[in-house]
Chains A and B, each alone.
Chain A
């Protein structure tokens, strides 16, 4: 495919003229121990073509059998998406001819998916809520992995041959398909990102998928179409394949809106086709148009029997569902008494779980937030890692807080203690000992420092004597400096007033 740069309209102009309609197909790889239809291990990164059985290779005479755990995970996903669960459903063969499937068909579901007619509420960063309707969630199997060899770019164009590893072939997948999403307007790119993030969070929270996008555990195909405002009929859509990070989902939807708008503006028609997202150029290129190659000739899989779900089975699985992520966030926010902005910052910093653990370990909600959003986040930023990867544990924060509460160290010293612990100098107590960081609690040395500070700033001393108690700050500062921060500022203040014979 030649790298023709396509015209795009500015996003703002596109939004003035056209109303975007979105749709998503998200594939979730389940983390069952074995594959969907064979007892081969469901693993990532093994030696090529070792995690396979004759079933995965589609060898003659094999009989696939359904993994019960994968069916249960699929039902859980359906329930978490508010779907109805089919009383009975079947598998179907989706025929296509490409080396990533050795069988020349993918075992999937067609007319009767296991879950259908659901909806989830997607909350954007500013709190706006969009309801996304789920059309269906069906069970299927993943394909093998192709590596294109030869040629200049390593991409398929110009490749001489391809190498196939079938370890991934047969890994259980659940494909979640939305109904057309209307009315998102200029929030469409943001909604796209938030939707995929919500699906990822839900399946991770359910424990049914490792949900790592960088490993392809969650993969998104994004459909975009535009229509003039007021028109009911949808425009022609493009389907951008395998957009594999949250940021890419947002950017790809934004780009496609801009590209469609330019096509429509020039009086042309949007081609219904597959597009490929390129992170390097932040644009999509044409894949192949929808054609008779998409003639999948589905038919019922004769080797597999229907899956029948009883009310008891569904309720048993429903009872195992964890608290939904959105509800959990609401509960924690109320419990902790954070403001909307404070809580949003906590979520965005990825420290909600860490704060919950810190509170469970004995810290107050305020103290936990202060540490994770303050000192820990600052260090994370410096080291360019996530706050939870700085090496600070909830227990360490609780320990430091106890030392501050007990007056052994103050806030400032506690940060130095943290430095020492992170540098491997031992426990907080040991660091205090080794670095000599304990607060000076003996009044003798403090009084000495106070006298020196008062003598150095006689004008300030005079002001305090005259009743200007706020002037004491300058003296406190002098004392803290002289004691290298190891004084208890509150006690210093008291002593200054005592010394000068005024009421604080």
Chain B
């Protein structure tokens, strides 16, 4: 059985400040459940002799030199924003975090 149930989805929605209807919660719980179950089959394939990995390619130390590159202009930065003011992104005040 998967760990994804209706309650878990409601909890994640609350964390992400996303309002979901009862119908949406049920639908999402069902869909996520299928996804998690599918991925679980990977765990069955990998035995205890296979070390955990965060990346499919055995590479490390892919670094960037500390050199300034191209930046966005303020207009470009704000072009996808739903709202802006004074060169900044305008967002609803979020009261429960600070």
A interface residue numbers (CB < 8 A to B):
32-34, 38-41, 47-54, 57, 59, 65-71, 88, 90, 95-99, 102, 104, 147-148, 150-151, 156-157, 159-166, 276, 287-288, 292-293, 295, 300-302, 305-308
Contacts and interface: CB of A to CB of B under 8 A. Distances in A.
B55 A159 contact: no
A247 to B, nearest CB: 23
A39 B64 CA distance: 8
Interface in B64-82: 64-74, 77-78, 80
A71 B16 CA distance: 31
Contacts of B98: 156, 276, 287-288
B68 A33 contact: yes
Given A49-B77, A66-B62, 10 more contacts: A34-B66, A38-B69, A47-B74, A49-B87, A97-B17, A99-B91, A162-B93, A164-B90, A288-B98, A302-B55
Interface string B39-82: 00000000000000011010111111111111111100110100
Interface of B: 11, 14-17, 54-55, 57, 59-74, 77-78, 80, 85-98
B54 A157 contact: no
A68 B63 contact: yes
Interface of B, helix, strand, loop or mixed by DSSP: loop
A162 B94 CA distance: 8
A85 to B, nearest CB: 14
A501 B71 CA distance: 87
A293 B60 contact: no
B90 A163 contact: yes
The 7 closest A-B pairs by CB, nearest first: A39-B69, A300-B54, A69-B66, A68-B63, A163-B88, A159-B93, A164-B89
A293 B68 contact: no
Nearest to A172: B66
28 contacts: A33-B66, A33-B68, A39-B69, A40-B69, A49-B72, A49-B74, A49-B78, A49-B89, A50-B74, A52-B72, A53-B71, A53-B72, A57-B77, A59-B80, A69-B65, A97-B16, A104-B16, A147-B88, A159-B95, A161-B90, A162-B90, A163-B85, A165-B87, A165-B89, A288-B97, A288-B98, A305-B57, A307-B60
Contacts of A302: 54-55
A66 B64 contact: yes
Contacts of B77: 49-50, 52, 57, 166
Contacts of A47: 74, 87
A162 B83 CA distance: 11
A219 to B, nearest CB: 15
Nearest to B57: A305
Contacts of B14: 292
Given A65-B63, A99-B94, A54 B72 contact: yes
